Structure 1
Amino acid sequence: MLLDIRQFILRLTDGLSPAQLRTIPDGERNHILWHLGHLVVTQQLLTYGLAGLPLLAPEALVAQCRKGTAPADWDDEGPAPDEVKRLLVALPQRFDADRASGAFTDFREYPTSTGVVLRSLDDAVQFNLFHEGLHATSIARQRRAVLGA
């Protein structure tokens, strides 16, 4: 299901240039590229991270797009859009394979900023889908702003 959601989110970015992906609309703190990277990073932290496994996302992307970050903090223009889009599709597939192989044996309970406590990998997966939906809405709104529609 995560892959289906990610493909929907990627369709929201169809036709947008790298410059448009990096445009921060008035009143916003982040841009579409940050949201895409944030989705990659958050899924990794909620699953691999809370299970005590190494993250598959590059360290630089984690540093740039984890909760509380913003493009204003970046030293450069940030990650390459094509690489972030590749990770959006590749990492859910890898997660499914790792989960099926039994790689996730431990899980550290985590209280989210929304007040939801994640007590298991299944909780993390479900919460991540909610999180992806929130950001899909932000991406759709920012797309309209960037395109002036």
Structure 2
Amino acid sequence: MEALFKTWKTSRRIYLSYFENYSLDQLNNIPNGFNNNLIWNIGHIIVTQQKLIYRGSDLQGYISDELFNKYQSGTKPTEPVSQKEAAELKELLTSLIDLTIADFQKDIFRTYKERITGTGFHLSSINDAFECNNYHEGMHLGYMLSIRKFV
């Protein structure tokens, strides 16, 4: 699990750098040919981590239903993200790591709802969920690398 956590922390540091290197207007910009933007991808990976790890274990997690519904799979940006919401997403990128690792160490993930994800991953345990999460975050980082060329 240490290697999974190390990969996750590295991924989140890369995502965090987008807040340092792009303006809010750039983060919100949806380039021609794309249906989302940089900040939607950030919100989406936060929500998906909470879905895979917590909701997959029948736990609520640490984000609001409003945030969950805005960035879950199948959504796309409908309005620009405010500075306040951008600050919340930036904070969640790092704060959720420590909370989730602490929860894992407390062994709160006792059950897991087995399922197959939309991308075809078979999830039968919390370990599977962490592995899938890292894959998912890498996939969306790839999307962001494409989007950033046009903002």
Instruction: Establish whether TM, by shorter chain, passes 0.5.
Output: yes
Shift of 1:78: 3.6
**Do structure 1's residue 120 and structure 2's residue 125 form an aligned pair?**
yes
Instruction: Write the distance in 2 (CA, Å) between the matches of 1:36 and 1:138.
Output: 11
Amino acid at match of 2:26: Q
Structure 2 counterparts to residues 1-149 of structure 1, below 5 A: 1=6, 2-72=8-78, 76-78=79-81, 80-146=85-151
Higher mean alpha-carbon deviation, 44-53 vs 108-117, is at 108-117
Contact map agreement 1:3 1:93 (CA 8 A) in 2: no
Instruction: Write the distance in 2 (CA, Å) between the matches of 1:33 and 1:123.
Output: 26
Q: Any unmatched runs of 5+ in structure 2?
A: 1-5
Structure with more of its chain in helix, by fraction: 2
Amino acid at match of 2:33: G
Contact map agreement 1:64 1:78 (CA 8 A) in 2: no
Contact map agreement 2:47 2:72 (CA 8 A) in 1: yes
Moved over 6 A (4+): none
- 2:3 maps to none
Contact map agreement 1:42 1:66 (CA 8 A) in 2: yes
Q: Percent sequence identity over matched residues? A: 32
* Count, aligned residues: 143
TM-score normalised by the chain length of structure 2:
0.89
Deviations 1:108-131 (A, max 9, x none): 012111222100000000011000
TM-score normalised by the chain length of structure 1:
0.91
Deviations 1:11-49 (A, max 9, x none): 244221111110001111111111000010000000000
Shift of 1:140: 1.6
For the aligned residue pairs, the C-alpha RMSD in angstroms reads: 1.3
Higher mean alpha-carbon deviation, 94-103 vs 13-22, is at 13-22
